[in-house]
Amino acid sequence: MSFRLPTLNHPAREAVGDIAALAVTLDPANAGRLPTLQQARRNALALLAATPAASRVNSVVLRLENDERHLISFGPKGGWRKVWNFGTGRA
């Protein structure tokens, strides 16, 4: 299975972070370790509450309905937006 990364000039590229760590995260053998959207949201809210200086948290999540991996950005009130879909290569 191959995953599409954002191009160097795409805004999502900065949110992706370390490409080597992302490769390990996206490895199909590690799919069971990825959080669901709800789990990632709870983790992000806890992290944002513990880190007042942070304004957003990015997380790679496993979407159970279609088995895709998405990069999601969470805000301090629990809102979220899809930054990147590693399956389709689109935001």
Measure the CA–CA gap between 32 and 29, rounded to whole angstroms. Answer: 7
Nearest to 69 by CA among 39, 16, 26, 40: 26
Measure the CA–CA gap between 47 and 65, rounded to whole angstroms. Answer: 26
Confidence class for position 1, pLDDT limits 50, 70, 90: low
pLDDT in tens, 4-31: 999 989 989 999 989 999 999 999 999 8
Nearest to 14 by CA among 4, 5, 27, 24: 5
pLDDT in tens, 30-89: 989 999 999 999 999 999 999 989 999 999 999 988 889 999 999 999 999 999 999 988
pLDDT at 60: 96
The pTM of this model reads 0.90
